[in-house]
Structure 1
């Protein structure tokens, strides 16, 4: 089994690479030795895996385990964490001193070099994996144009970044024409070395440059990590993190859900190229799905997934928009994605736990297991300070949605306006105990929570000791199913609601309105609405016609039909009073059963 020895370009100690006889198909095994030699066929990553314990320079950096990440190679690719362009390598002291020059492949000067090798074998390409600067005296290049072209093509095929050829007379005194032609065709940089140089010294200088770059990148990575962790510790949510991250990179950043809906975006004004992308985000984002999971084409977007507990939640995008590809931006993108995942997960867990604690507290108050004063004390333990404040209880229902869907909206509205509150889902409604801020009144809370889809009942303003009674008041007010109903304004409805728990109210409605309800069910539509508006207008036909948007003659016709069905005159004050009570009772009778009987 042949053995080749060389310098380990990662840990700066010597190594032996042992291969099987079939070198092309072998997987090299690497071990470090105590003497320096050249001609290494080592793969950088395999070296790191086997000799990392002795790689003191690499292990001193704290950035090898990024936030929520693993080994750098697993996150950022094979060795691209530390790399330098061919153009910058040419500026090193040893190449400047030796008069090194670019003989071919000018189009490849921006190629990245991630390590350096020296070798004289004609099949050296089979031992390389891309990104190398290959140093050679030229012994393996070949003596004929065909051999030389084949050698250059093989190096380009495996992704070698550049080839430096000694032209000091051991093999060549000038650059072979075939080498120049083939390299120009493939944009493979060829460096001419007019004098002999120590390849070990060249390797050391390249390694030093790569180490310096890696050190700066590690420092920048640590800086980004610290920044994101500090923002998490101060309670930044995903929207704030996107804003901060975009400012950090001075580039647009987009956070989207798995359904390609924008959840957060920051990138300055909406003009320019990124404005075009945002305006047609669905098209842009879905087009990326035909590419790899980790990245879109550089001209489109760089993105990483946001994963919560093993489930893909969405993506964090870094639109390129023609900007230079910055590897540190991509590294930072991974860190930001991890921070956003932590923020989302923490927010989800916090919401669930808070909802559970508040639900337990409210239920204990409702069943009498906790006094009003005890409720306020326990509320402080879960972060809601209701002490020494005027309190109001609100029961909030929705006409079209479940309480679970409405609850986050109510929580957000009260939190954003700094109203301390304990809110719980109690069935078909929410029950909220809200502390009024100094200078605010009950009507301010009502206007804040008012919505055309909601039905809200409010108690009187109460002290802590009166909370149990306030709960009953709010439930009574809510049972009217009005958009906003204050307990103090119930009037007659307060008595009617108290009757709703038994059959009396249903019987009264049937006795007073039964024939009219039967007519409505038989396609006589609009009569109940006409009666309700007429009674609300206290029998004023002109006002009723205006509110109903009908001609007065049409109103007269409807009223005559109602009188005929009910067998009574609507001109009679006593009749209108009885019907008014019946119409109001009907709203309570038709309310959902859980609301009617206060079984929240």
Structure 2
């Protein structure tokens, strides 16, 4: 509680500030009614003194001395009941209070002490109870942080539970590295994708402003969509590394955190992140050696290869001297995700310039080709990598087929992104045929043939090509094609008749349907 709070709580008592306006933020720790005019003997720092100046009512010099003693003892302020024993305070007292930003408040003579003491003491009592809880809470947090031996991800979740808030950790560019399961999305961030940037349109300005203040403040406070953010900057060798966000509907800073706890949190998180990345580097180095030994044996078995691409992964090629090992963090997430495939007994991950290859050594063959695709789709859709494009090879039994499978699966993903741009998971089983079509589309005789078949249509209204594609996609069902194109069946029938006339083909004849499907596919694939 400070002097401003005193004025608000005593609003009904007509309490007024008459001097020391700039000292309204002085903290009030105790309240004393002055009976003995020797404040040097009893006035402590933070005390708010209430008096009538009865014992010195006729001695303005003694009143001035008392105010000087209160200022020297760092009292919070002085409340004087005006009108009962003194009519007003002298100008030297007012000037002294203003010069030292020492608040003096006047209380009307008709207001009883109990009317002002009751609400103020009640507020102090509540704050003392709260402070005791906060001290205990801080000790619990500090004990937990000092004994922190978990992974960064688990520790962030546990800390969020203890603080009853959401936590996420971003790098100096705002890219997301970790977040608690209780993450609250708001006006700063609207997704949890790994390495994603904040969604706030002014995030770069905020980051620049925070980075300029890292040596001046232990934390920053911001509010985004009524969510309070306590933002703790973490840096090493004067190089900005991280921003830790603690997000809540209440003020986490004033309720639970002091300077020592803030320092402990950021130092332990930084230390454990560096340690965890070192462990991951060792783990993947040993895994690489294990892979080399595995290859030498030239084994047979049930193998599956995945190829993955993602635009946000570009950060792993932008590491600086002080940046973290983004590549190891990404591999860890992938390993944890794919460990959910119970049919696999080993995972090897390889980084390339454009994407990643993941080799799965399976314990048994997946009975249905779509079974693995659906499982991978379910795993990724619920993860921080749900924007990852994934291509899945067919099962192969010989490791000597490794290079061929790598080549084919890259093409599978390229085709999948072209044919189904809104889908992220693609399998060779579904798209392998398109590789042959792509190969055909590059042959000049095929191009000439396709052009001759579709020439009349390509020179007509583009809506006719759209209609033909939809009609064939719906297996010749004109009613469903009309629904998908948001037109009437009569309109579709009219367009189909025009198409027949232009192309000279019968849309009820299976051979003509096959030719049109082939030509339209080749025409669509020419740019792949």
TM-score, normalized by length of structure 2? 0.50
Residue 457 of structure 2 is aligned to residue 516 of structure 1? yes
Residue 473 of structure 2 is aligned to residue 532 of structure 1? no
What's the offset of the Cα at 1:317?
A: 4.6
Q: Contact 1:379–1:422 at 8 Å: present in 2 too?
A: no
Q: SS of the counterpart of 1:392?
A: strand
Quick one: distance in 2 between partners of 1:318 and 1:495?
Answer: 53
Alignment correspondent of 1:392: 304
Alignment correspondent of 2:114: none
Q: Contact 1:457–1:476 at 8 Å: present in 2 too?
A: no
Alignment correspondent of 1:243: 157
Q: SS of the counterpart of 2:471?
A: helix
How has the CA–CA distance of structure 1 residues 394 and 243 changed in structure 2, closer, same or farther, with 3 Å as cutoff? closer
Q: Which runs of 5+ in 1 are unaligned?
A: 1-85, 88-100, 111-143, 161-177, 188-215, 362-372, 381-385, 592-600
Structure with higher Rg: it is 1
Count residues with an aligned counterpart.
Answer: 367
- Kindly report which structure 2 residues correspond to 1:330-479, keeping only aligned pairs within 5 A, or say none: 330-344=259-273, 377=294, 390-396=302-308, 404=314, 412=333, 415-418=336-339, 419=341, 420-425=347-352, 427=354, 431-436=357-362, 442-450=369-377, 457-463=391-397, 464-479=399-414
Which of 481, 491, 495 is 1:554 aligned to? 491
- Kindly report which structure 2 residues correspond to 1:130-529, keeping only aligned pairs within 5 A, or say none: 145=62, 149=66, 152=69, 155-156=72-73, 226-228=146-148, 230-231=149-150, 235-237=151-153, 240-246=154-160, 252=165, 254-255=167-168, 257=170, 293-294=217-218, 304-307=232-235, 310-311=239-240, 313-315=242-244, 317=246, 329-344=258-273, 377=294, 390-396=302-308, 404=314, 412=333, 415-418=336-339, 419=341, 420-425=347-352, 427=354, 431-436=357-362, 442-450=369-377, 457-463=391-397, 464-481=399-416, 482-483=419-420, 485-489=426-430, 493-500=434-441, 502-519=443-460, 524-529=461-466
What's the offset of the Cα at 1:581?
A: 0.9
- Kindly report which structure 2 residues correspond to 1:100-111, keeping only aligned pairs within 5 A, or say none: 103-105=41-43, 108=46
Q: SS of the counterpart of 1:526?
A: helix
Q: Contact 1:479–1:497 at 8 Å: present in 2 too?
A: no
How has the CA–CA distance of structure 1 residues 504 and 264 changed in structure 2, closer, same or farther, with 3 Å as cutoff? same
Q: SS of the counterpart of 1:305?
A: strand
Quick one: distance in 1 between partners of 2:415 and 2:527?
Answer: 9
Quick one: distance in 1 between partners of 2:276 and 2:263?
Answer: 20
How has the CA–CA distance of structure 1 residues 269 and 474 changed in structure 2, closer, same or farther, with 3 Å as cutoff? closer
Which of 517, 521, 528 is 1:580 aligned to? 517
Q: SS of the counterpart of 2:396?
A: coil
Quick one: distance in 2 between partners of 1:558 and 1:444?
Answer: 40
How has the CA–CA distance of structure 1 residues 554 and 425 changed in structure 2, closer, same or farther, with 3 Å as cutoff? farther
Quick one: distance in 1 between partners of 2:507 and 2:414?
Answer: 28
TM-score, normalized by length of structure 1? 0.45
Q: Contact 1:355–1:424 at 8 Å: present in 2 too?
A: no
Q: CA RMSD in A?
A: 5.9
Q: Which runs of 5+ in 2 are unaligned?
A: 1-28, 31-38, 49-60, 77-92, 105-135, 191-199, 222-227, 317-326, 342-346
What's the offset of the Cα at 1:305?
A: 2.0
Q: Contact 2:393–2:409 at 8 Å: present in 1 too?
A: yes
How has the CA–CA distance of structure 1 residues 337 and 497 changed in structure 2, closer, same or farther, with 3 Å as cutoff? same
Quick one: distance in 2 between partners of 1:319 and 1:542?
Answer: 53
